[in-house]
Amino acid sequence: MSSPSPRLILAAFHLLGRLFPAPPLDREIIPSPEVLKEKSKRWNRISGVSFLSLFVACAISLGSIACKFADKHLAALGKPLFLIRAEPFELWVWAVFLATVLSAWLSFLILRVVLSRERYHEFIMVTSHASPMGGADGVTVHFGKVFCFFFFLAGPLLAALIVFRIDSYTAFTKDAMVINPMWSLGKEVVHPYKDIRGIYSVANFHARFNDVAKPRHAVVFADGTVWTTGDGMRAPRPESDSLFIQEIAKRSRRPVTALNFLEDAPK
């Protein structure tokens, strides 16, 4: 996948500049570039300390809450033979992303409450003009409004993603596979092992433009539905996955059949 072109990035900066224009420079407060540079150092230190403190607090809080909620939610499954779930490390990663947009917005919000109206106006004016997007000759934006925009755009999406990942799992019990698919809340589907039609070790995948090697395992049920070890944003691990795949094969009395492509499975 190619990275965005510089022209596209610059166009995005100009769009943000139109949506959230920086306040004009007040020459009585900022009479010269030297004064702007000096004031920006002080305000950057203040906002930097505020952001870092909030970021650490938010990341630890959100990561801990996500992991504890996941453990409590999955405890209802009892002790399955095997369990595929969102690992704590993954939840911490998403929590860090959420903490980034949350703490950036909170730092501006807190400074707006703590500082006087005149001081906050100076802070926004200095930070906006001292750090143009795209370099020294880039686009000046109102950073307070930009971070607010990104928080309300990305914050709910990241929070929803964490919830969906917590609720996405596959449990292998003594009698059945209990599947809670990604992008569904509380929608458990129980497939008894006796309903398994076939178990396959698949080598390749039909991508959009060409065929690629993508080793994974797949289970096809009697109703035609298919579950694979790559479902739910999971990266297949063929060697370690074979442990529970062999257990499924034993309990369903179905052999593991090697296939080139999943589409080659008998209908």
Give the three-state DSSP class for 261.
Answer: coil
Query: Would you give per-residue pLDDT tens digits along the chain (267 residues)?
Result: 556 677 888 888 889 999 999 999 999 899 998 999 999 999 999 999 999 999 999 999 999 999 999 999 999 899 999 999 999 999 999 999 999 999 999 999 999 999 999 999 999 999 999 988 877 778 999 999 999 999 999 999 999 999 999 999 999 999 999 999 988 888 899 999 999 999 999 999 888 888 889 999 999 999 999 999 999 888 899 899 999 999 999 999 999 999 999 998 887
Q: Are 25 and 124 in contact (CB under 8 A)?
A: no
Give the model confidence (pLDDT) of 219-261 as tens digits: 999 999 999 999 988 889 989 999 999 999 999 999 999 999 9
How far apart CA 222 and CA 7 sit, in angstroms, is 52
Whether the CA torsion 26, 27, 29, 35 is positive or negative: it is positive
Q: How many whole angstroms separate alpha carbon 39 and alpha carbon 128?
A: 12
The reported pLDDT for the residue numbered 3 is 63
Indicate where the chain has its CATH 2.30.29 domain(s): 170-264
| Contact call for residues 107 and 54 (beta carbons, < 8 A) | yes
Judged by DSSP in three states, 149 sits in helix
Two tokens at 248?
Answer: 């499924």
Q: Where are the beta strands (DSSP E) in the chain?
A: 82-84, 169-172, 176-180, 189-192, 196-206, 211-221, 226-228, 256-259
Give the pLDDT score at 135. Answer: 76
With CA atoms as reference, report the closest residue to 37 among 119, 120, 136, 141: 136
pLDDT in tens, 7-28: 888 888 889 999 999 999 999 8
How much is the pTM? Answer: 0.86
What integer pLDDT is reported at residue 207 of this predicted model? 84
Residue 184's pLDDT is what? 86
The DSSP output letter for 80 is: -
The whole-angstrom separation of Cα 124 and Cα 39 is 11
The matching CATH number, chosen from 1.10.20, 2.30.29, 2.60.40, 1.10.287, for 170-264 is 2.30.29
| 21 DSSP β-pair partners | 141
